[in-house]
Amino acid sequence: MIRGIKVRLYPTKEQEILMWKSAGVARFTYNWGLAYLNSYYKENKKSLLIGELRKIFTELRNSEEYPWIREVSSEIPQQALKDLGDAFEEFFEGEHGYPKFKKKNKCETSFFHLNNKFVVKDKFIKLEKIGFIKMKDEGRLPIGNYKKDKIKVTNPRIKHNGRHWYLSLGFEVENTHKLCLTGESIGVDLGIKELAVVSNIDKPFKNINKSKKVKKLNKRLLKLQRQISRKYDKLKSEKAFKKSEKPNKTNNIIKLEKKIKLLHKKISNIRLNHIHQTTNAIVKTKPSRVVVEDLNVTGLLKNKHLSKAIQEQSSNKFINTLEKCEWNGIEFVKADRFYPSSKKCSCCGAIKKDLKLSDRIYKCACGIVIDRDKNASINLANYKLVG
């Protein structure tokens, strides 16, 4: 089992400059690799292996064309090319779209650090070519030289969230904590009105986007977005820019963009925290089996009336997070995408073909009257249940 750890870093001004430079090199390398592969395919009508691409980049790094690349760890650009290779693999497997170029200030600011080059001493951690950085660890990271002491970590990344720097990594640990399961099969129905309705829990889990706190933050976000839009319009009208030209940002625009970015991050963190709390509450009921719908989110987003609400619910993130069931020995099942969980009666099994989206109460000829989402969750609980 992988245990994730996130540690806040407190770099000096000189160290922070190097960290920004490292993130810039990682982004530049990814974009360079994507551009090279695109042009290579156009010329040769075949793809190039990432291993060959890394060799070509090593020659570029050793040349005098980009001397600033050598100012950071050599592992940073090499890992960026590996990430590009993973992105192409996911594209060919149909999991994600074609890889896109990373734009400055719009993509995640992060870079890789080789796992065996960490040195941890008390409240300091040593990063390659950056030096010892103060951190807020609280004793979660093992102290020592990770190469000499053979301390293994997975996917270490240094990230900037718009305000602070963080180190995120994972440790492989044995799962000694095993739940005493009840033997029950439960179904989880995801929705828009409520986040989730669970078959063995009477009260549905609320939609956090309808809470006063998130509504207030969204209102504030809308206000800031209007302010920055007016400033851009004013700037363009004053200087009569051509359509192809980009106006130089004023200090006020830069400040507003930073506020908007932080506000987006805050709202995202609130949603993610709510998803973790909900999935933890489901796992704590100790079922032996959890069944969820395999939602076609891409198809659902085509509905212009519901697309914003569906996107804010983060259904795919919820399903991926709920896979933590497997860590506790709970069977995790995704129901077939075309399984009629909403149209099927949980009592007699009859299919109500004329069920509309506006019908929130399910009424069947057998006499059952039940909430539509609760009915769906019970059907999911009984999905391919043997015995």
Q: Which of 232, 256, 279 is the last residue of a domain?
A: 279
Enclosing domain of residue 215: 209-279
Q: Distance between CA atoms of 163 and 266, rounded to whole angstroms?
A: 11
CA distances from 139 to 82, 142, 158 (A): 31, 7, 19
114 and 32, same structural domain? Answer: yes
CA distances from 102 to 129, 142, 290 (A): 24, 34, 37
Structure tokens at 36: 């090279």
238 and 132, same structural domain? Answer: no
Q: 79 in a domain, yes or no?
A: yes
Closest to 318 (Cα-Cα) out of 357, 288, 273: 273
Question: Where does residue 292 rank: exposed (0-12), middle (13-18), buried (19+ CB within 10 A)?
Answer: buried
Angle between helices 50-62 and 13-44 (to 10 degrees): 120
Q: Are 312 and 264 in contact (CB under 8 A)?
A: no
- The pLDDT value recorded for residue 355 is 84
Q: Distance between CA atoms of 36 and 43, rounded to whole angstroms?
A: 11
354 and 301, same structural domain? Answer: yes
3-state DSSP call for residue 362? strand
Phi-psi region of 139 (alpha: psi -120 to 50; beta: other; left: phi over 0): left
Q: 154 in a domain, yes or no?
A: yes
- The pLDDT value recorded for residue 176 is 58
292 and 271, same structural domain? Answer: no
Q: 386 in a domain, yes or no?
A: no
198 and 142, same structural domain? Answer: no
Angle between helices 251-283 and 315-322 (to 10 degrees): 40
Q: 115 in a domain, yes or no?
A: yes
Phi-psi region of 286 (alpha: psi -120 to 50; beta: other; left: phi over 0): left
- The pLDDT value recorded for residue 272 is 93
159 and 50, same structural domain? Answer: yes
| Residues in a beta bridge with 222 | none
161 and 19, same structural domain? Answer: yes
312 and 262, same structural domain? Answer: no
249 and 290, same structural domain? Answer: no
What amino acid occupies position 22? S
Q: 177 in a domain, yes or no?
A: no
- The pLDDT value recorded for residue 205 is 93
Q: Which of 247, 279, 311 is the last residue of a domain?
A: 279
DSSP helix, strand, coil percent of the chain (3-state; round to 5): 45, 20, 35
Residue 340 backbone phi and psi in degrees, to 5: -80, 65
Q: 387 in a domain, yes or no?
A: no
145 and 226, same structural domain? Answer: no
Residue 247 CA to its chain's centroid (Å)? 32
136 and 272, same structural domain? Answer: no
Q: Which of 279, 294, 327 is the last residue of a domain?
A: 279
340 and 197, same structural domain? Answer: yes
Phi-psi region of 349 (alpha: psi -120 to 50; beta: other; left: phi over 0): left
Q: 334 in a domain, yes or no?
A: yes
- pLDDT tens, per residue, the chain with 387 residues: 677 889 999 999 999 999 999 999 999 999 999 999 999 999 998 889 999 999 999 999 999 889 999 999 999 999 999 999 999 999 998 878 899 999 987 888 999 999 889 999 989 999 999 999 999 988 888 899 999 998 888 999 999 988 899 999 988 766 656 678 888 999 999 988 899 999 989 899 999 999 999 999 999 999 999 999 999 888 877 765 555 566 678 899 989 998 998 999 899 999 999 999 999 999 999 999 999 988 777 777 787 888 888 888 888 889 888 887 878 888 999 988 888 888 899 888 888 888 887 888 888 888 888 988 899 999 999 988 754
- The pLDDT value recorded for residue 224 is 96
Q: 162 in a domain, yes or no?
A: yes
Rounded to two decimals, the pTM is 0.77
CA distances from 272 to 44, 172, 293, 317 (A): 44, 23, 20, 8
| Residues in a beta bridge with 347 | none
Q: Which residues contact 314 (CB under 8 A, 6 or more apart)?
A: 271, 272, 275
Helix (H) or strand (E) holding 172: strand 165-172
| Residues in a beta bridge with 190 | 196
What total of structural domains would you count in the chain? 3
